[in-house]
Chains A and B, each alone.
Chain A
Amino acid sequence: MEFLILLGTPLFGALYLGFFGAWRRAPDVNVGLSLITLLAACALTARVIEHGDLLVAKEQFFIDPFNVFLVTLTAFVGFTTALFSRPYMRIERDHGKLSARQLKLYHSMYQLFMATMLIALTTNNLGLMWVAMEAATLSTVLLVTLYRTPASLEAGWKYFILCGVGIAQALFGTILLYFAAEKVLGSAGVDALLWTHLNAVKGQLEPAVLSLAFVFLLVGYGTKVGLAPLHNWLPDAHAEGPTPISAVLSGLLLNVAIYAVVRCKILVEGSLGSTLPSNMLMGFGLLSVVLAALFLWRQRDIKRLFAYSSIEHMGIITFAFGMGGAVANFAALLHMTVHSLTKSAIFFTVGHAVQKSGSQQMGDIRGLITTNPTIGWGLMLGSLAILGMPPFGVFASEFLILTTAMKQQPWATPILLLALAVAFAAIFGRVQPMVFGETSGKRLPHPPALLPVFAHLALVLMLGLYIPPYLADWFRAAARLIGGE
Chain B
Amino acid sequence: MNHIPFDLQIINALAALLLLLSFSMLSQRRIVSLVNLLAMQGLLLTVATLMVAWRTGETHLYLSGLLTFALKVVFLPWLLHRLIRRLNVYWDTEPLLNIPGTMLVGVLIVVFAFGLAQPIAELASTATRNAIGIAVAVILLSFLMMITRSKAMSQVVGFLSMENGLFFGAMSATYGMPMVVELGIALDVLVAMLVLGVFFFQIREQFDSLDLHHLESLKERD
**Could you tell me which A residues sit within 8 Å of B by CB distance?**
60, 125, 127-128, 130-131, 134-135, 138, 141-142, 145, 148-151, 153-158, 160-161, 164-165, 168, 171-172, 174-176, 178-179, 182-183, 187, 189-190, 192-193, 206, 208-209, 212, 236, 240, 295, 298, 300
Contacts and interface: CB of A to CB of B under 8 A. Distances in A.
Interface in B198-215: 198-199, 202-203, 205-207, 212, 214-215
Contacts of A154: 214-218
B218 A127 contact: no
Nearest to B170: A175
A164 B192 contact: yes
Contact of B120 (A179, A190, A298): A179
B214 A161 contact: no
Interface stretch (B14-22, B72-80, B91-99, B174-182): B174-182
A176 B120 contact: yes
Nearest to B119: A208
B123 to A, nearest CB: 6
Interface in B89-135: 116, 119-120, 123-125
22 contacts: A125-B178, A127-B181, A128-B181, A130-B184, A134-B188, A138-B192, A138-B195, A142-B198, A145-B199, A145-B202, A150-B214, A150-B217, A151-B218, A160-B192, A165-B146, A172-B166, A176-B173, A189-B178, A193-B178, A208-B123, A209-B120, A212-B116
B69 interface: no
Given A127-B184, A150-B207, A160 B217 contact: no
A134 B205 CA distance: 27
Contacts, number: 138
B166 A168 contact: yes
A161 B177 contact: no
A164 B159 contact: yes
A130 B181 contact: yes
Nearest to B187: A131
Greatest chain A CB density within 10 A among B181, B185, B191, B215 is at B181
B23 interface: no
Given A150-B207, A192-B178, A141 B199 contact: yes
Given A142-B198, A160-B199, A135 B177 contact: no
Contacts of B188: 131, 134-135, 138
Contacts of B163: 168
Contacts of B195: 138, 141-142, 160
Contacts of A182: 174
Contacts of A156: 199
B202 A148 contact: yes
Given A131-B185, A168-B162, A298-B220, A161 B146 contact: yes
B218 A175 contact: no
Given A138-B192, A148-B205, A175-B174, A125 B199 contact: no
Contacts of A298: 220-222
B206 A212 contact: no
